[in-house]
Every structure is written in structure tokens, then in C-alpha cells.
Amino acid sequence: MIVFLIDADNLSSPAWVNEAIATIEATEGPIAVRRAYGSAENLKGLADPLRDWAIRPFLNVYLTKNTTDMALAVDAMELACQTPAPRTVVIGSGDADFVPLVVRLRERGIKVVCASEYRKMAPEAVKSYDGVIYVGRNAGSEKAAAKAPSAAKKAAAPAPAAKMAPAKKAPAAKKAAAKPAPSTAVTPADHVTKDMILDALPKLRTGEWLPISDAAKALHDKKLLSKSASSPKLFKRFPQSFELKPERQPNQVRLTRSAD
């Protein structure tokens, strides 16, 4: 029996879940137990793969401390104690918090594999697993491929001769080109305050862990972080307000209780 347990607060993209399931079934075999654990918002974001793959959602208890990891670990050990026990358990999360669970499952003779977005995989957790499935490496190429058909259609469609613009309208193009581009200035890092960060990331006020990748995107959209800047470095400017995990190559952030 193959079991796939997804930490939806970590493996939170529908594309990642689809890619992980396809790889698991190709390498391990059919998945008998499929479950996803997470906040209401993250589970809603996975609505399509939950429906398409018949994955059972488990809403975590809403507390200031995230309970997703604990719920997943409890169910994993309960399944491990069943007869027959799973042959393989795949944990959909790169969080190092699951290492104790991985050790206990392996001690029971169960093969344990991790499925993680490659940027979220905790380096110190890699060797504890029997194998790691990395997803999301080809996200850029997939987006380009998805756009290619529409672009090709536009290029192939001949323009009607009757609608060709006459040469005398060329000055109008100059005027359009002369319009100034909208401002894209990014707030200097030393001018960014804790309150500005919280305004951009209101979810942090709940005390829940937030994926660094989601935080970085919101900060980029609010012009509080340049594309080349490091979001963990920005959070580390406020050590009394924000907590990062894991310590090396952090992939999650939350507001500390002392900052409330």
C-alpha cells in the first residue's frame, strides 16, 4: 500500500501536487491513501487536484500555533500501526519538522519518501529519507509552453489588408511612445518598517507560518522588495518580530508572540 500525505501549508501549488502524484505512481505504484492537511485558505487553493485525484482534505485546528504538521504525523503513525502496514509513505513537505516521524516510520520497516518543491526542501532533512522527489523545477518552461499556442495563433493569423494603418498615422505612434512609463520604484530596504511588512502580509498577524515564497511575492507586488533581494534577509532585520524556519535556508516565516 502506498500512502501520500500532503502538508498543504508547504506543498501548496496545484502544479506541484499533480507532478508529485504522477511521479509517485510512475516510480512507486498506485497510491491507495491520499490526504492533504492545511489551513482553509491553502486547501481551497488545492481544490482542483483534491477533486481530480480524490484527495481527502483535513482542515487543521485554527490556533495561533500551526497544527498541520502534528495532524499529519498522528495520521501517519496510525496508518503505520494498521495491518497490513503501508509499504511506502510519501510526505509532501520539505519541512525538517518531519524528521522524527521519518525515523519512526523507517524503524517499522516502511519506506519513506519526501515530495518537495526544490526551493523548500530543508537540506538537513534530505538524508533521513529513502528518497526525495523534487517538483517545480520546470515551472518556467511550463508557463512558456502554455503561452506558446496562443502566441503561434496570433503570428499565423494574416492581417486583413483593408485594416492596415496608412502611413500618415505614424505621428500618433510617436506620441504614444513618448508617454512616460508608470513608476516601478522599490522602497529602499532600510526604509521598510515592520508595519509596512504586516500591511503587505496581513496573514502574518494570525501567528501562522507563511511560506517564504508567498511572502516574497506579496512583498514584490507591494514594491517593498526588489526581484533580486532576499526576503529572509529583510525579515532578519526585525529579529524580535519575525521568526524563520529552518535556520539554514529558511522557507517559512511567522510573527513572533512577543511582537503582538
Confidence (pLDDT) at 247: 79
The class (CATH top level) of 2-138 is alpha beta
Q: Return residue ranges of the chain for CATH 1.10.10.
A: 189-259
**Can you give the pLDDT at residue 207?**
80
pLDDT value, residue 63: 65
Q: What is the tens place of the pLDDT at every residue in 125-135? A: 999 999 999 99
Location of each CATH 3.40.50.1010 domain in the chain: 2-138
DSSP state string for 163-232: GPPPGGGHHHHHHHHHSPPPP-PPPPGGG--HHHHHHH-GGGGGT--EEHHHHHHHHHHTTSS-TTS-HH
pLDDT at 146: 38
List pLDDT tens digits, range 166-214. 555 555 544 545 555 555 677 887 788 888 888 888 888 888 888 888 8
In CATH terms, 189-259 corresponds, of 3.30.310, 2.30.29, 1.10.10, 2.30.30, to 1.10.10
Residues 250 and 254: their CA atoms lie apart, in Å, by 11
The confidence score (pLDDT) of residue 164 equals 52
* pLDDT score recorded for residue 18: 96
Low-confidence ranges of the chain (pLDDT < 70): 62-66, 138-184, 258-260
pLDDT of residue 187: 80
What are 210's three cell numbers?
507563511
pTM for the predicted model, two decimal places: 0.54
